[in-house]
Structure 1
Amino acid sequence: MNKVKDLQEEKVICSGVDALPSSIQLPCISIHKATWERKSVQERRAEILLSLGTLAQDVRSARTLSQPGCGLTLLKRLEHSINNYLYVVRLLHVEGEQEGPAVERCLGQPSKDLGLVLKYFGLLLTGKLELLIAEMAKWC
């Protein structure tokens, strides 16, 4: 399901697609192990949902400002991939879940560099999301 490597390869093929028409807020990918472990699974899930939702919204905005061509196709595929992860994470059943917990908004830096956006998206998936899934797998 992780299509980031495919998107990165496609970006290399698309010449001149590095600069986006608008900034995209990069997701927070750093994990302070002790802080992460103190959070409930619900809080971790909410944090990932917030990051993915913000990323999807910003990619959608950049896509609407893009010219037709390779870059637009790449942004469409990226948005589709992000939305797939949003859907899956929303469907994850978290034991004892009630109303969604309040999450501190972690603001990453804004960037117009598509390569950096793809890198941070990949790191969000292989970092926080994989840790969440590993924690939830213990329940099975």
Structure 2
Amino acid sequence: MALSRLLLLFMVASEVWNAETRPIDFVCDRESRRDMNTVAEMEAALADCDALKTLPFPIQLPCIKVHKASWERKSAHEKKGDIAASLGALSRSVLVVKTLSQPGCAAILLERLEHTVNNYLLIITHLDIRGSVESPLFSCTPQSTHSLSTVLWTFSRLITGKLEWLMTDLTHGCP
């Protein structure tokens, strides 16, 4: 029963968020960003997934710690690069673990997480922010964990912390 609910939840969540949405809509519409955040649903699905207490391989956590004064001194372009680097590393790490996982509840949840992270990464990379082109850098030394619960919590902190702060910086261009 739990697996069938998880499959149904995954199918609904896999639908394209909004094919007409552009990165500027993401910046200007906080409600769209809230609707896109499906971490709570993934955490609920995780509770129903007995097979996923511990991941067989570690997942790299995104950098979420922020020194407020340093963050405020960064350009929007640097902030975008920081977030994109964290999302990209998380996506690659989830893909590896998903590929090596057994089919079933765990693989479905990891696929959903990968899909969600990639949606955010796609939007962030397509934001039109002027600035010097440089390689995105991590703002911390990335850590890893075998706990999907920790991964979801950290991902949630990234999108409700750094990402929201960047969006606040960019709302000056909203109509």
The TM-score normalised by the length of structure 1 is: 0.94
Query: In 1, Cα distance between the equivalents of 2:71 and 2:132?
Result: 20
Show structure 1 runs of 5+ residues with no match. Answer: none
Tell me by how many angstroms 1:103 deviates. Answer: 2.4
Q: Which has the higher strand share?
A: 1
After TM superposition, the runs of 4+ consecutive aligned structure 1 residues lying more than 3 A away are: none
> Which residue does the alignment assign to 1:126?
160
User: Which piece of structure 1 moves more, 97-106 or 117-126?
Assistant: 97-106
**Matched positions, count:** 139
> Which residue does the alignment assign to 2:65?
30
Query: In 1, Cα distance between the equivalents of 2:55 and 2:43?
Result: 15
Show structure 2 runs of 5+ residues with no match. Answer: 1-35
Residue type of the alignment partner of 2:153: K
Whether the 8 Å CA contact 1:43–1:101 is kept in 2: the answer is: no
Query: In 2, Cα distance between the equivalents of 1:34 and 1:70?
Result: 42
Task: State, as a whole percentage, how many aligned pairs show the same letter.
Answer: 42
Tell me by how many angstroms 1:102 deviates. Answer: 5.0
The TM-score normalised by the length of structure 2 is: 0.76
> Which residue does the alignment assign to 2:151?
117
Give the counterpart of 2:120 among 85, 95, 106: 85
Tell me by how many angstroms 1:27 deviates. Answer: 1.1
Greater relative contact order (Cα 8 A, min sep 6): structure 1 or 2?
Answer: 1
CA RMSD of aligned residues (A): 1.3
2:88 counterpart of 1:44: no
Whether the 8 Å CA contact 1:28–1:51 is kept in 2: the answer is: yes
Other structure's SS at 1:16 match: helix
